[in-house]
Chain A
Amino acid sequence: MKKTYAIFKKELKHYFYSPMAYIMLTVFLFISSWFFTGMLDTYISLSINSLNPYGQSYTLSLDRDFFGPFIVNMAIIFLFFMPFLTMRVISEERKMGTFELLATSPLKNIHIILGKYFAVIFLYLIMLLFTVVYFLGVYFVFPFNIQVLLVCYLGIFLLGSTFLAIGFFCSSLFKQPIFAAVTTFGVLLLLWIAGWGVLGDFGKEISIITHIESFTKGIISLKDVFYFGIVIFFSLFSANLYIDSIRWRE
């Protein structure tokens, strides 16, 4: 536990001593707030339409027509962001030779992997926490049922954590962080579009984005929680095996 915490602290120092964390946060907040105001605008014009007695009859719902789509939108932003967040996590240790320090210290792989994984999750939580401010703004003007939003956040948290775990595995494969980033992006995109077309229902099952749908409707589906859990476990476990194999080869 102490050793996991030592790794965790060190990782956060890398992110916060360098411009990395600040750049990520700034760009993320800029883009996500841009989307947020845009979608809020659309929602408002929709609600004006729905008030028009001669217009289409349509019952608006904040959950369905605003929270859900915004969460999916955030998922798209994370698809582009997560590869950069995880790319250096293992590969840079190998590139700089510090992997040898970790591997010859009385540490187990699990200390290294969990310490590092929790650190990127922590950074991710900070990013999510900032977006809560957007909804607070809406809440003050128009109080809404908070439960659905919480479930939406649980969904996006699980989805993002899965992205990070996949990125973690890809980072263990390469010595150059940039290769890890490109591979992560490719894998995530493939998993995303797997639900489109040719693979049919099977594709929908393995696709990463279909598993967030129930959350956006305010439903916690155990099946989806399991999906994310299994992908996270499998990715981190594969990273563990790959890290061991590096030591056999070098």
Chain B
Amino acid sequence: MIEVKNLVKKYGDFKAVDDISFNIGKGEIVGFLGPNGAGKTTTIRMLTGFSPATSGQAYVNGFEVFEKPMEVKKSIGYLPEFPPVYPDLTVRDYLSFVAEIKGIEKKLKKERIDYVTQKCGLSEVIDKEISKLSKGFKQRVGIAQALIHNPLILFLDEPTSGLDPIQIIEVRNLIRELRNEHTIFLSSHILPEVSALCDKVIIIANGKIMAVDTPERLSTGMSGQKTFTFNFLDDISKAENIISQFENINNIKVVENSLEVKVNDISDIPLIVRRAVENRLDITGVIPKTASLEEVFLHLTTKEGA
């Protein structure tokens, strides 16, 4: 669906996007993750045909973005970082306008407006002026706008930024509902969001791609699933004393009243448990520790400077 090859975008001498390549398959929901200013919006703007790349190719739905921009634009829906709405129009007028410029047939227009209104939960505000809507509703209008021509691919640039927690949950649920029908490319700097929604994560920093993987693999890959947190009823220093005598332990430290133990092999864990029980320690929990995406993210984006 989306194929990017050696894409570069320069502003003067500044490389906003520096030689990135990736592939996104049909029906995938992909998170594009990076700190502010990493080049996320610039990349999306190139893929949507808004601004041309300095060099490299991008194919969207099989069409080269720069050579066949009209074909590309017909097959995408795009929600920019700020919903592109006209505050003085009503939601109905606005959606009708977008339907017309996207080239929807007149007979289908009403049907499509009804569909996106229902899908995005806009029925109660359909005849209201957009300027009178809350930020959450404006965002939904923005998503409705991107959906109206039933595009194969959706580009969502920071779809939950600036929303309150309830609105965030609503928008995420909406995106989840859309995942079956569209290929979704979603940018965000919010890590839990990406791990909650996406099949695949592309991490970008300073215009370069740092990693492409599933959220789970990125987390486990970091820790190798070899760090475990032990909780005890007993005094933590006593437990530390006993467990640290075990020879196969790589690293051991006390973190907030529990013990974090790193082993070379996962088969060591039952041995540690047995040893603990033999020493009359009361274990209340053994939890494999996966690195949070935050850690992955920090690890990947800071190793450059380190």
- List residues of chain A with CB under 8 Å of any chain B CB: 2-3, 5-7, 9-10, 13-14, 17-18, 96-107, 111, 247-250
Are A97 and B86 interface neighbours, CB within 8 A? no
Residues 1-25 of B at the A interface (beta carbon under 8 Å): 11
Which residues does chain B contribute within 8 Å of A6, judged by CB atoms? 97, 100-101
A100 touches B70 (CB 8 A): no
B101 A107 Cβ-Cβ under 8 A: yes
Interface residues of B in 113-165 (CB under 8 A from A): 145
Asked if residues B101 and A249 are in contact (CB atoms below 8 Å), the reply is no
A10-B48 in contact given A104-B76, A106-B73 (Cβ < 8 Å): no
A106 near B86 with CB under 8 A, answer: no
Q: Is B28 an interface residue (CB 8 A)?
A: no
Selected interface stretch from B49-57, B278-286, B295-303: B49-57
The CA of A13 and the CA of B76, in the complex, are separated in Å by: 27
A98 touches B84 (CB 8 A): yes
Tell me whether A3 and B103 are in contact (CB under 8 A).
Answer: yes
A-chain residues with CB within 8 Å of residue B86 when the two chains form the complex:
10, 14, 96, 98
Q: With the chains together, A238 CA to B49 CA distance in Å?
A: 21
Q: Closest approach, in angstroms, between the C-beta of A250 and any C-beta of chain B?
A: 6
Q: Is the CB of B85 within 8 A of A100?
A: no
- Does B89 lie at the interface of the complex (its beta carbon under 8 Å from any beta carbon of A)? yes
The main secondary structure of chain A at its interface with chain B is: helix
Partner of A104, one of B11, B73, B87, B97: B73
Q: Which residues of A contact B70 (CB under 8 A)?
A: 106
Q: List B residues 70-95 near A (Cβ within 8 Å).
A: 70, 73-74, 76, 78, 80-89, 93
State the 8 A-B residue pairs at the shortest beta-carbon distance, nearest first: A6-B100, A101-B84, A106-B73, A98-B84, A104-B48, A97-B82, A105-B101, A100-B80
* Contacting residue for B78 out of A5, A18, A98, A104, CB 8 A: A104
**Cβ–Cβ < 8 Å partners of B222 in chain A:** none
CB pair A248–B97 under 8 Å, yes or no, is no
Taken together as a complex, chains A and B put the C-alpha atoms of A101 and B93 apart, in Å, by: 15
* B289 interface residue (CB < 8 Å to A): no
Could you name 30 residue pairs across A and B whose Cβ atoms are closer than 8 Å?
A: A3-B101, A3-B103, A6-B97, A6-B101, A9-B97, A10-B89, A10-B93, A13-B88, A14-B86, A14-B88, A14-B89, A96-B86, A97-B84, A98-B85, A100-B78, A100-B80, A101-B78, A101-B98, A101-B145, A104-B49, A104-B73, A105-B73, A105-B98, A105-B102, A106-B74, A106-B102, A107-B73, A111-B101, A248-B52, A249-B11
B158 to chain A, nearest CB (A): 13
Give the Cβ gap from A162 to chain B, nearest Cβ, in Å: 28
A105 proximity list for chain B (CB < 8 A): 73, 98, 101-102
- B45 adjacent to chain A (CB < 8 Å): yes
Known: A9-B97, A104-B73, A104-B78. A17 touches B103 (CB 8 A): no
Chain A nearest CB from B140 CB (Å) reads: 16
Q: Which residues of A contact B145 (CB under 8 A)?
A: 101
Question: What is the CA–CA distance of A101 and B144 in the complex, to the nearest angstrom?
Answer: 13
How far does the alpha carbon of A13 sit from the alpha carbon of B89 in the complex, in Å? 8
What residue in chain B is nearest A250 (Cβ atoms)? B51
Given contacts A105-B73, A106-B70, contact A96 B45 (CB under 8 A): no
